[in-house]
């Protein structure tokens, strides 16, 4: 029979413990091993009566390792092969592993030689500042020049983790491999309140090395599967995100040299204001550069962001960051070069442009076609760009602008001496309701100005607008200034009135535009705009418009009408024929959103007109319907109904518009009203108006019926 086990031999006397605590010294280990050998020799005569022998040691320190509560046991003494086992209550690791503490270590396969401790097979638990683990497989090897440890099958947040650490003198290396770790559990473990995870799995591999507490090199690869969560401020969110990334970095005397690769393969990602969905498309980012931790500066040597079937963005530059930087989020872009290449602006526009256009003047704008653009930034400011586009299309939900078949290159620089020309052409351009045909512009855009280099002719409503001179100059304070000089030739009044939804007009417009200026959001005409129409002239002066490119433009003008041929004018309408001449004016015209608000107008026979004056029966009826006269009844009940035309001396009609009501007046006052037409010659007829006040909208309806139908309706 085996003898009963004696009480373990307690070797942890105070004087001896003090000898064991000397760091980076192996003398304590040698002393313990020698003492154990001596003890075994002394008890050899009674070895057959003993089953086990153990030695307790309070603390051993070596090479930054600290073992506390040590028990070394020799078992199976009666057998041919004895077993040496080790238990440790607590093991503290050297830097940089000192955040981890191993407890309840059991080594069933233990080797102890002069300057070597080796645990080939063991179990241990991990305690750290944030979490504790269940028991995992553990081994370690401590020698005078090299120490290492391994943890495998470590259960963490629903997954498994393996940790492999090694140190050689002042050098160390650690490798971590985590698989299928639950992201939500990790968040609770780390107590991270910035990003709230709802679900998702994480695979991670880390290989890091360094000296003392300094990291020299590391490689980190991660894979997120089905990650769903968001930050508290809502600026970053994921939905079932699948993301793979790799980061390599090397520390060269405080300068980190790094390179990274990331691939977004599934789910959705929101980074304010962008929303991305993989949707069978690959989205990837490759980058490399330097990070100066001391000077808080990042240099991006190259970065390439690729979104398949959409486009690619390449970036290089340098960024300064820190609390002392007086820029948004404490980040300052020192220099940057960006290059965008897209053969699918139709796909790029809703994803990358629309979010930035919202709540700006560009809201509702979308693009199609191809684009290659290069940008240069220095000290947070754009300094130059070149954009080359082909088959460009621009659509605007608000109907402000539309472009088809755009092609060209735009060059710009903040250098006031920049003179590289830009060339832009299109097949169709729409400004609001006004269409401009195929055209080409050659210009220079530099610093805060745009200048046309050569005369341009723009096809417009059956005619043309010729731009002889155009300058645009931005001002540091206030609105930019615009200068324009040109001409209009043979523009269709009919097409113009239809485009602007005006009462239909007929004829063409031709004229010279001496000078147009835009400043402080106001468009003004310098001098007079002279329009040759119907063998006469229309002069526009005091022309001004504010808010021209808004949803509520305002318009001011004075108009003088001189000696128009009534025969040519009336032939363009369904109004009825009139011969003679017509002059007049529209003064203090004020319009809002292209609708008249107030004016004082007069149109009538000029005093110097000595031409033949005839008016058709149809024209008489229509004029009478405008003024609410009873001429139609007279014509139908008398012999005058047999005449097609009548002679007249003068005709005239005036209107003072105010508060939506038109105060009408004629060539002379009559007891019962006002005369619109006074007779002259044979047969002669007078047209009298009896309603001096007419609602403006009613008057417009009457004019529209007259000019669009042969049927005359007299109210």
Can you give the pLDDT at residue 240?
Answer: 93
Look at residue 562 and give its three-state secondary structure.
Answer: strand
Considering only residues 12 and 279, tell me which one the structure prediction assigns the higher pLDDT.
Answer: 279
Where residue 226 falls (left for φ over 0; alpha for ψ -120 to 50; beta otherwise) is left
Can you give the pLDDT at residue 627?
Answer: 64
Can you give the pLDDT at residue 47?
Answer: 44
Answer whether residue 12 shows pLDDT above 70: no
CB 698 within 8 A of CB 706: no
Tens digits of residue pLDDT in 91-125: 777 666 666 778 888 887 777 777 777 888 888 87
Confidence of residue 528 (pLDDT cuts 50, 70, 90): confident
Considering only residues 389 and 694, tell me which one the structure prediction assigns the higher pLDDT.
Answer: 389
Q: How far is CA 507 from the centre of its chain?
A: 47
Distance CA 606, CA 609 (A): 5
- What is the 3-class SS of 472-503, one letter each residue? EECCCCCCCEEEEEEEEEEEEHHHHHHHCCCC
Average pLDDT rounded to a whole number, residues 519-546: 80
Where residue 190 falls (left for φ over 0; alpha for ψ -120 to 50; beta otherwise) is alpha
Confidence of residue 593 (pLDDT cuts 50, 70, 90): confident
Least confident of 63-72, 471-480, 576-585: 63-72
Concatenated DSSP letters of 84-128 = EEEEEEEEEPPTTSTT-EEEEEEEEEEEEETTEEEEEEEEEEEE-
Considering only residues 108 and 662, tell me which one the structure prediction assigns the higher pLDDT.
Answer: 662
Answer whether residue 598 shows pLDDT above 50: yes
Average pLDDT rounded to a whole number, residues 228-246: 92
Confidence of residue 274 (pLDDT cuts 50, 70, 90): very high
CB 134 within 8 A of CB 124: no
Q: Which of 421, 420, 518 lies closest to 472, judged by CA?
A: 518
In degrees rounded to 5, what are phi and psi of residue 309?
Answer: 70, 5
Can you give the pLDDT at residue 355?
Answer: 93
Answer whether residue 503 shows pLDDT above 70: no
Q: Which two tokens stand for residue 302?
A: 């190259």
Terminal CA-CA length for the chain: 135
Confidence of residue 89 (pLDDT cuts 50, 70, 90): confident
What sign does the CA torsion over 509, 510, 514, 519 have?
positive
Residue ranges of the domains in the chain?
1-147, 148-435, 553-708
In degrees rounded to 5, what are phi and psi of residue 45?
Answer: -60, -25
Answer whether residue 466 shows pLDDT above 90: yes
Answer whether residue 531 shows pLDDT above 80: no
Average pLDDT rounded to a whole number, residues 331-336: 92
Considering only residues 420 and 489, tell me which one the structure prediction assigns the higher pLDDT.
Answer: 420
Confidence of residue 195 (pLDDT cuts 50, 70, 90): confident
Least confident of 311-315, 511-515, 597-601: 511-515
CB 519 within 8 A of CB 481: yes
Q: Which of 248, 308, 247, 241 lies closest to 271, judged by CA?
A: 241
Average pLDDT rounded to a whole number, residues 572-595: 89
What sign does the CA torsion over 428, 434, 436, 437 have?
positive
Can you give the pLDDT at residue 587?
Answer: 95
For the whole model, what pTM was predicted?
0.71
Answer whether residue 450 shows pLDDT above 60: yes
Considering only residues 496 and 133, tell me which one the structure prediction assigns the higher pLDDT.
Answer: 496
What sign does the CA torsion over 13, 19, 22, 26 have?
negative
Can you give the pLDDT at residue 72?
Answer: 75
Total residue count of the chain as it appears in this document: 715
Answer whether residue 16 shows pLDDT above 70: no
HSE-up (13 A, CA, CB side) for residue 79: 9
Distance CA 558, CA 287 (A): 63
For residue 522, give the DSSP letter: E
Can you give the pLDDT at residue 7?
Answer: 40
- In the predicted model, what is the mean pLDDT of the chain? 82
User: Looking at the DSSP assignment, which residues form a beta bridge with residue 613?
Assistant: none
């Amino acid at each position: 029979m085996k003898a009963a086990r004696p009480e373990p031999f307690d070797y942890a006397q105070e004087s001896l413990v003090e000898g064991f605590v000397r760091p980076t010294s192996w003398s304590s280990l040698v002393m313990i091993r020698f003492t154990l050998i001596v003890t075994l020799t002394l008890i050899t005569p009674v070895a057959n009566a003993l089953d086990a022998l153990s030695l307790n040691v309070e603390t051993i320190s070596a090479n930054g390792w600290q073992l506390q509560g040590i028990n070394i046991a020799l078992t199976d003494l009666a057998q041919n092969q004895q077993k040496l086992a080790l238990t440790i209550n607590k093991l503290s690791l050297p830097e940089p592993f000192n955040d981890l503490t191993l407890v309840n270590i059991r080594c069933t396969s233990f080797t102890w030689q002069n300057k070597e401790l080796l645990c080939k097979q063991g179990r241990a638990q991990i305690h750290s500042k944030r979490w504790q683990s269940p028991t995992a497989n553990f081994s370690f090897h401590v020698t005078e020049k090299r120490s290492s440890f391994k943890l495998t099958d470590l259960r963490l947040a629903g997954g498994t983790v393996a940790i492999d650490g090694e140190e050689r003198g002042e050098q160390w290396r650690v490798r971590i491999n985590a698989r299928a770790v639950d992201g939500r559990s990790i968040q609770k473990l780390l107590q991270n309140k910035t990003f709230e995870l709802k679900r998702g799995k994480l695979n991670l591999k880390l290989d890091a090395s360094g000296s003392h507490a300094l990291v020299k090199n590391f490689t980190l690869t991660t894979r997120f599967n089905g990650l769903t969560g968001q930050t508290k401020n809502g600026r970053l969110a994921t939905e079932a995100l699948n993301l793979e990334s790799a980061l390599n970095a090397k520390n060269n005397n405080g300068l980190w040299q790094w390179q990274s690769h990331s691939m977004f393969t599934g789910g959705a990602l929101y980074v304010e204001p962008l929303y991305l969905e993989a949707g069978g498309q690959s989205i990837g980012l490759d980058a490399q550069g330097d990070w100066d931790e001391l000077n808080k500066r990042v240099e991006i040597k190259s970065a390439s962001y690729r979104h398949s079937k959409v486009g690619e963005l390449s970036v290089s530059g340098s960024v300064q960051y820190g609390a002392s930087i007086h820029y948004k989020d404490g980040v300052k872009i020192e220099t940057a070069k960006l290059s965008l290449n897209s053969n699918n602006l139709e796909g790029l526009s809703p994803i990358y442009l629309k979010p930035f256009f919202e709540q700006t003047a560009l809201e509702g704008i979308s693009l199609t076609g191809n684009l290659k653009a290069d940008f240069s930034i220095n000290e947070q400011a754009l300094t130059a760009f070149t954009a080359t586009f082909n088959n460009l299309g621009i659509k605007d939900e608000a109907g402000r602008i539309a472009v088809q078949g755009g092609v060209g290159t735009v060059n710009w620089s903040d250098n006031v001496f920049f003179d590289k020309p830009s060339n832009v052409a299109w097949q169709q351009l729409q400004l609001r309701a006004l269409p401009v045909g195929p055209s080409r512009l050659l210009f220079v855009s530099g610093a805060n100005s745009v200048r046309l280099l050569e005369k341009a002719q723009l096809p417009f409503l059956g005619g043309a607008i010729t731009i002889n001179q155009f300058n645009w100059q931005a001002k540091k304070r206030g609105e930019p200034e615009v200068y324009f000089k040109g001409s209009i030739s043979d523009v269709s009044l009919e097409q113009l009135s239809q485009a602007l939804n005006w009462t239909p007009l007929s004829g063409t417009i031709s004229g010279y535009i001496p000078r147009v200026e835009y400043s402080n959001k106001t468009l003004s005409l310098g001098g007079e705009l002279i329009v040759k129409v119907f063998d006469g002239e229309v002069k526009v002066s005091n022309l001004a418009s504010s808010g021209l490119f808004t949803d509520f433009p305002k318009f001011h003008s004075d108009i003088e009408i001189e000696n128009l041929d009534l025969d040519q004018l009336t032939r363009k309408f369904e109004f009825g024929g009139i011969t003679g001449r017509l002059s007049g004016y529209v003064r203090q015209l004020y319009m809002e959103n292209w609708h008249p608000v107030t004016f004082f107008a007069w149109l009538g026979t000029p005093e110097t007109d000595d031409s033949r004056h005839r008016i058709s029966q149809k024209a008489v009826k229509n004029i009478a319907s405008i003024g609410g006269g009873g001429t139609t009844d007279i014509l139908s009940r008398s012999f005058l109904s047999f005449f097609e035309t009548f002679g007249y001396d003068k005709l005239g009609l005036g209107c003072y518009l105010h508060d939506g009501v038109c105060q009408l007046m004629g060539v002379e006052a009559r007891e019962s009203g006002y005369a619109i037409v006074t007779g002259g010659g044979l047969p002669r007829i007078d047209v009298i108006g009896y309603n001096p006040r007419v609602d403006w909208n009613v008057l417009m309806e009457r004019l529209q019926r007259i000019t669009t139908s042969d049927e005359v309706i007299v109210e």
